[in-house]
Chain A
Amino acid sequence: MELIQQLINGVSLGSIYALIALGYTMVYGIVKLINFAHGDVFMVGSFVGFYSITVLDLSFVPALLISMTVCALFGVLIERIAYKPLRNATRIAALITAIGVSLLIEYGFIYVRGAQPEAYPNDVLPTDKFNIFGVSINSQSILIFGVAVVLMIILQIIVHKTKIGKAMRAVSFDADAAKLMGINVDNTISATFAIGSALAGAAGVIFGIYYIKIEPLMGVLPGLKAFVAAVLGGIGIIPGAMVGGLLLGVIEALVSAAGYSLWRDAVAFVVLILILIFMPQGLFGKNKKEKV
């Protein structure tokens, strides 16, 4: 029963990773950039949610929506200011910029509001426990998982049924050809950043509710692990990010359950290195041949 309990924890954690990983994977798919600042967008989302709940006295859903909106705008802002001038720069230049943006957000945030942590109020979502076949399940875990699933379904609908989704798929397939077909590539990229950042914002609020404590540097580790999740599922592939996130969450929970909780953070990186060596295209990826 302990094992099932841990699996449920793993799924909750994994759905947070999956939400963040979606942003990574969408941005990577479209501009081939590891957006290091994505973990910090997640942090900002968490704080916006926190202030909406405590200062504005809102309930869960409005706080989630506010956080998602603010993060979407923030993501577009980052993209327009820092990444757009580098559209044609080398990959390494873009990567260095992304690291710079990430640190700028973290330390700018600390500079403005201080490094002290905050605690989410614990009455945002009902915390009833109920038993199913002897396993006690927290209603929070179910709600969190539910919110994550709903957001992912909405994302799938956006990507596959709307015009902007079609444009996104076209740009990620071949940006030049998409441009020739009259697709506004810049706006499509901005939309991708907006959607990915909104998902990260939602993940931030969920994280705050589930783990209570939030602080300005909280985005670094989940951000990196979500990237691992994106690579695990095959970077650039949306269902891959979902599965990768859930899988990583479950693996971490199982490692904790086995009594190695101090090693938990290392496991994600070991998984990363293993997957990069043996299956660099990820679980869902297709093997691409290199063109010379």
Chain B
Amino acid sequence: MTTIKRAKGFWLSISLSLIFFAVVQVLIGGGSLNPFYQNTLMFIGINIILAASLHLIIGITGQFSIGHAGFLAVGAYASAVMTMKLEMPFALALIVGGLVAALAGLIIGIPSLRLKGDYLAIATLGFGEIVRILLLNIDYVGGASGMQVSHLTTWPWVFASIIVTLIVIRNFTSSTHGRACISIREDETAADSMGINTTYYKVVAFAIGAFFAGIAGGLYAHNFYIIQPSNFGFLKSFDILILVVLGGLGSLSGAVLAAILLTVVTTFLQDYPETRMIIYSLVLIVMMIYRPQGLMGTKEITSMFKRKGGSSHENKNTAA
């Protein structure tokens, strides 16, 4: 019974989003959406993918990673090399970008996921910096002056990527593997003693998160005309982190909502970067003091429409 209900909800949201897609597509085709709004839309889409991918790592598995811009950079550069140097089609470039980023996730994940909490955070931060410095020193991709990329990211690509990302991450979360990841978040030692291979699941979550960050990187790279290593510094990681923290550590819909909200805010504050950073950091501090679980906590937006008893199995704890 519940499966049918869930499937019904699933197809309902798919059809709703397809309608939304068609409306926006018609608006873009008809020219009633000017380039500024189109660009904001692309950014919202890319940020949704990034937020969802980091949500899997921080919100679901509870691994505090603050080097997400590293995966974004790997995906961006890998896909840009595919289209610009090897002249491959865009779709292939996106997938390769994702795969290379997932590989990077594996390489960094396997050794550093033996670490916990703050140590892991610092190690991932270090990883992000290493990626940036590496790119800065590779002449093949242009070093500090960056790499020319043609504009290929269009609304259908962004939309398709969002849908795939959200479906995969949502289904992963509610699968056996996702449950294992949540148990690691709640108590790693207990999960370990229940026979869950914690390192394996942490690495899997890391690799999947990195894969989608890489896809977002491909979209990000081809939305600009140039990518530079300085676009992928610690501040970029912080921008992604705040999406997940604001939305609620452990809530996919929260992360998506925060991505939409903050991208719009960022667009309006584009001319005042300092003010933006001050607001963001104040939001983080105040949030951590008064509502550390984020806007949504671990609840999903769909659970608001259910009867109260329906969500009793939802976890009330925050990630940490």
CA distance A263 to B143 in the complex (A): 13
CA distance A106 to B190 in the complex (A): 40
Contact partner of B129 (CB less than 8 A), chosen from A231, A265, A290, A292, is A265
With a CB–CB cut-off of 8 A, which chain A residues contact B189? 290, 292
Return B177 CB to nearest CB of chain A, in Å. 22
| With contact pairs A101-B285, A103-B280, A227-B122 given, residues A93 and B320 touching in the complex (Cβ less than 8 Å) | yes
Flag whether B274 is at the interface (Cβ < 8 A): yes
> Are the CB atoms of B278 and A96 closer together than 8 Å?
no
Flag whether B111 is at the interface (Cβ < 8 A): yes
Flag whether A111 is at the interface (Cβ < 8 A): yes
Flag whether A173 is at the interface (Cβ < 8 A): no
Looking at chain A's contact residues, the main secondary structure is: helix
> Are the CB atoms of B320 and A90 closer together than 8 Å?
yes
With a CB–CB cut-off of 8 A, which chain B residues contact A277? 111-112, 114-115
Flag whether A159 is at the interface (Cβ < 8 A): no
Flag whether B245 is at the interface (Cβ < 8 A): yes
CA distance A92 to B287 in the complex (A): 13
> Are the CB atoms of B134 and A276 closer together than 8 Å?
no
Return A155 CB to nearest CB of chain B, in Å. 23
> Are the CB atoms of A85 and B289 closer together than 8 Å?
yes
> Are the CB atoms of B289 and A104 closer together than 8 Å?
no
Which of A95, A228, A262 has the most chain B CB atoms closer than 10 A to its own CB?
A95
CA distance A224 to B233 in the complex (A): 13
> Are the CB atoms of B278 and A97 closer together than 8 Å?
no
Return B74 CB to nearest CB of chain A, in Å. 15
Flag whether A62 is at the interface (Cβ < 8 A): no
Flag whether A82 is at the interface (Cβ < 8 A): yes
Per-residue B-contact encoding for A254-292, CB less than 8 Å = 1, 0 else = 000000001101101110110011001000000000101
With a CB–CB cut-off of 8 A, which chain A residues contact B122? 34, 227, 231, 272, 276
CB-nearest residue of chain B to A101: B285
> Are the CB atoms of A99 and B133 closer together than 8 Å?
no
Return A228 CB to nearest CB of chain B, in Å. 8
With a CB–CB cut-off of 8 A, which chain B residues contact A273? 111-112, 123, 126-127, 130
With a CB–CB cut-off of 8 A, which chain A residues contact B318? 90
With a CB–CB cut-off of 8 A, which chain B residues contact A32? 118
| A30-61 interface with B by 8 A CB criterion | 32, 34
> Are the CB atoms of B275 and A111 closer together than 8 Å?
yes
Flag whether A91 is at the interface (Cβ < 8 A): yes
Looking at chain B's contact residues, the main secondary structure is: helix
Return B114 CB to nearest CB of chain A, in Å. 7
| With contact pairs A85-B289, A89-B288 given, residues A270 and B278 touching in the complex (Cβ less than 8 Å) | no
Flag whether A86 is at the interface (Cβ < 8 A): yes
With a CB–CB cut-off of 8 A, which chain A residues contact B278? 104, 107-108, 111
Which of A82, A92, A95, A104 has the most chain B CB atoms closer than 10 A to its own CB?
A92
CA distance A100 to B234 in the complex (A): 13
> Are the CB atoms of A276 and B133 closer together than 8 Å?
no
With a CB–CB cut-off of 8 A, which chain A residues contact B292? 89-90, 93
Query: Would you list the 10 A-B pairs with minimal beta carbon distance, nearest first?
Result: A269-B126, A100-B284, A90-B320, A107-B277, A104-B281, A103-B281, A266-B133, A100-B285, A93-B292, A92-B320
Chain A contact residues, CB within 8 Å of chain B? 32, 34, 82, 85-86, 89-97, 99-104, 106-108, 110-111, 220, 224, 227-228, 231, 262-263, 265-266, 268-270, 272-273, 276-277, 280, 290, 292
Chain B contact residues, CB within 8 Å of chain A? 64, 66, 111-112, 114-115, 117-119, 121-123, 125-127, 129-130, 133-134, 136-137, 189, 234, 238, 241, 245, 249, 274-275, 277-278, 280-285, 288-289, 292, 318-320
A–B complex contacts, Cβ < 8 Å, 26 sampled: A82-B289, A86-B289, A90-B292, A90-B320, A91-B118, A96-B241, A96-B284, A99-B238, A99-B281, A99-B284, A100-B280, A100-B285, A101-B285, A103-B281, A104-B285, A107-B278, A110-B274, A111-B275, A224-B125, A224-B126, A224-B129, A263-B137, A266-B129, A268-B126, A272-B122, A276-B112
Known: A86-B288, A228-B126. 18 other contacts (CB 8 A): A89-B288, A90-B292, A90-B318, A91-B320, A93-B292, A99-B241, A100-B283, A103-B284, A111-B274, A224-B126, A224-B129, A227-B122, A231-B122, A265-B133, A269-B126, A273-B112, A273-B123, A277-B111
